[in-house]
């Protein structure tokens, strides 16, 4: 029998995608909480993940470090994934790739220049510019939801909603909610109202940081 997968996670970081997906899937995981950023506060983590990023997912001795790829692993064989024989399969795959590469990237710049860098190195102009950059890219979510659909693809909640929903959620924590469209805000409220999201957030606040 395989050992329980280990998820290394910092509260509300991209690893929340994985914790949320695990809760939605009912998958047992061994949650290990780290202080943020691990690079500064958890030096021993380098032995697990030389990138020093979260998530880190260890299963059967193998490491995965991409939040959306880990969501694919968790969703495998469950209704949270879109199967290859479904009509929305390629749209689903595109959303998964878009979630971090296109939508979370500008938010990461905002995080760096509002929270991570010391005061003297903070850059208000970069934050403003990348907020606008994110807003332009987030129009793709609004366009997809314009027909009144409840979820992004396949007529059901999937990890595409988790992967993209996390980016939209992160934007709200960065004072960027105003660049989200109305349909996007309604869809995000549906995503965040799910029991799986509530359980994930409650769980990340209970554990003891290493
Ligand atoms: N593309 C990766 C990005 C991972 C990543 O950069 N995670 C951030 C947290 S949101 C991190 O660990 N940053 C700390 C650092 O780079 O030192 C993913 O989707 O998981």
**Same domain (yes/no): 147, 171:** yes
Q: In this structure, is residue 1 part of a structural domain?
A: no
Q: What is the Å distance from ligand 1's center to 146 Cα? A: 31
Residue 19 near residue 31, CB atoms below 8 Å: yes
**Same domain (yes/no): 46, 143:** no
**Same domain (yes/no): 102, 146:** yes
CA of 39, closest atom in ligand 1: 17
Alpha-carbon distance of 59 to 139, in angstroms, equals 36
CA of 104, closest atom in ligand 1: 19
Supply the range of the domain harboring residue 145.
89-194
Check which CATH number belongs to the domain holding 15 and give it: 3.40.30.10
pLDDT of 207 reads 55
CA distance to 47, 115, 133, 170, 200, per residue, from 176 (Å): 35, 15, 11, 9, 23
Residue 31 near residue 70, CB atoms below 8 Å: no
Check which CATH number belongs to the domain holding 159 and give it: 1.20.1050.10
**Same domain (yes/no): 66, 159:** no
Q: What is the mean pLDDT of each run of 10 residues along the chain (210 residues)?
A: 91 98 98 96 98 98 98 98 98 98 97 94 97 98 98 98 98 98 98 98 74
**Same domain (yes/no): 100, 125:** yes
Q: In this structure, is residue 209 part of a structural domain?
A: no
Q: What is the Å distance from ligand 1's center to 54 Cα? A: 5
Mutation pick for ligand 1 pocket among 48, 51, 53 (CB with most ligand atoms within 8 Å): 53
**Same domain (yes/no): 158, 200:** no
CA of 99, closest atom in ligand 1: 19
**Same domain (yes/no): 122, 68:** no
**Same domain (yes/no): 167, 98:** yes
Q: How many domains does the chain have?
A: 2
């Amino acid at each position: 029998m395989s050992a329980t997968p280990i998820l290394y996670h910092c509260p509300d970081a991209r690893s929340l995608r994985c914790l949320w997906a695990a809760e939605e899937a009912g998958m047992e995981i061994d949650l290990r909480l780290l202080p943020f950023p691990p690079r500064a506060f958890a030096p021993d983590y380098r032995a697990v993940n030389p990138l020093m990023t979260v998530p880190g997912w260890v299963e059967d001795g193998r490491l995965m470090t991409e939040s959306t790829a880990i969501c694919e692993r968790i969703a495998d064989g469950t209704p949270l994934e879109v199967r290859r024989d479904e009509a929305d399969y390629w749209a689903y795959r595109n959303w998964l790739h878009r979630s971090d590469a296109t939508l979370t990237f500008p938010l990461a710049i905002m995080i760096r220049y509002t929270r991570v860098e010391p005061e003297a190195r903070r850059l208000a102009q970069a934050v403003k510019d990348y907020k606008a950059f994110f807003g332009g890219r987030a129009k793709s979510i609004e366009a997809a939801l314009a027909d009144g659909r409840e979820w992004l693809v396949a007529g059901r909640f999937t990890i595409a909603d988790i992967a993209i929903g996390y980016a939209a959620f992160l934007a709200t924590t960065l004072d960027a909610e105003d660049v989200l469209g109305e349909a996007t805000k309604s869809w995000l409220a549906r995503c965040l109202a799910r029991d799986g999201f509530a359980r994930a957030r409650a769980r990340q606040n209970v554990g003891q940081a290493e």
